[in-house]
Amino acid sequence: MAATTHAGEHEGEHAGQGAAARRDLAVRAAVEQGLLDADPLTCLLDVAGIRASAAALTSAFANAVAPGTPVLHTFAVKAAPLVPVLRLLAGAGLGCEVASPGELALARAAGVPAGRTVLDSPAKTAADLREALALGIAVNADNAQELARLDALVGSGPASSPIGIRINPQTGAGTIGALSTATATSKFGVALRDPGAREWLVRAYRDRPWLTRLHVHSGSQGLPLPLIAEGVRELHALAEEINAAAGRRQVDTLDIGGGLPVNFASDEQTPTYAQYVAALREATPGLLDGSYGIVTEFGRSLLAKNGLVLARVEYTKTSGGRPIALTHAGVQVATRTAYAPAAWPVRILPYDAKGAPKTGAPVAQDIAGPACFAGDLLATARELPRLAPGDVIGVPDTGAYFFTAHYGYNSLPRPAVHGFAVSSAGVRFSLVRPAQSMSAIVAEAGGAFRDALL
């Protein structure tokens, strides 16, 4: 149910003052409306921020490509697999990039047309491929064996869907190895620099007139823009080589993936989409001249900075002389932070029990979650005003791959997610996903089959 709270006499003035101002208004309103009363953990999405991110992406490319160039921006569903989010982005002109039957089902539930959907995955089944072709969804084949499956499905006639092959340009890793998709031994795509691979790709396209796209995803968190752009440059060069060998413009669309890094250290949004496009133009001037249609697949950069985890401080204590704040936000909503804190540090925003930003002398303290293992920490020795029971912590930049990718450790329930919008009338919340009930947890754990092993 949507609701509105007046968060102050001058709220209309605050509404246009940026994401941080909207965030603080939303926290106060969430406390006033009791969003943390029944469940001491809830998550917020800034609707205006999401729209602004989508607009920044579309305008950056629109201002750079030659007039008339077909450009399709798709959202990587894995970053925030929530149907209302996909619906909101569809209204902003974005399609969906899906990597599983479940993600495809979410995109379809959001009303995203097949013609604005792209299927990627290194392990598509024959059934996945048949469904995509039947619906007219674009497919990027990952490897030679998958291409053989497509041969059998497509036959000698024209394909019912745009089809391409994903390459791995092998341009190198960033600072987070587990996310780097263009290493020498990455599991994704055809390894372009392996012996004979380039020649095989050219032959594969020459022999299959229905292969009309080429795909790369060289970006990821921890990669600098020049390295991401290098992968796209390799893609463009290969497309030119294929078309020269075919004697015609067979490859007509380049899917350049996504992976624009996000700044988790402050509220500043950097790098920007405009900076990304500038890096592409510098590395590959011909990419934007209208010779090829363009597809993008951004996820984290569209949603991360528009999400906020809110949690009550349940208890505080000291151990070994260090203060510890025990909260309800931990590994279940910030899995990567708990298991790889050096790679995925998060900011902690302290608020008092009324939802106002908390001030006071900074004290080094741990911010701990509710799970029963020692590493369930959001921050260690973080300098913050001394927290007390009943206070609220906010964890910003969590709109992608954090609370949208729940981890069910200790059978901790999925938290509620609310979208919020700030206007002169107040802060309006809309339920995006309800909190998971105890009965749903039991059902998911085989509750209906309790005697199955007796």
Q: Which of 38, 342, 372, 438 is catalytic?
A: 372
**Cα 299 to Cα 345: distance, rounded to the nearest angstrom:** 19
Rounded (5°) CA angle 333-335-339 = 150
Q: How far is CA 153 from CA 99, 128, 157, 170, in A?
A: 19, 12, 10, 30
- Mapped onto helix, strand or coil, the DSSP state of residue 267 is coil
Q: Identify the burial level of 11 via C-beta atoms within 10 angstroms of its C-beta, where 0-12 means exposed, 13-18 middle and 19 or more buried.
A: buried
Burial of 278 per CB tally in 10 Å (0-12, 13-18, 19+): middle
Quote the CA–CA distance of 277 and 298 in Å, as a whole number: 13
Name the amino acid, one letter, at 397.
D
Tokens of 296: 């993008």
372 catalytic? Reply is yes
HSE-CB of 47 using CA atoms within 13 angstroms: 19
- CA dist 440 and 447 (Å) reads 9
The catalytic residue positions are: 372
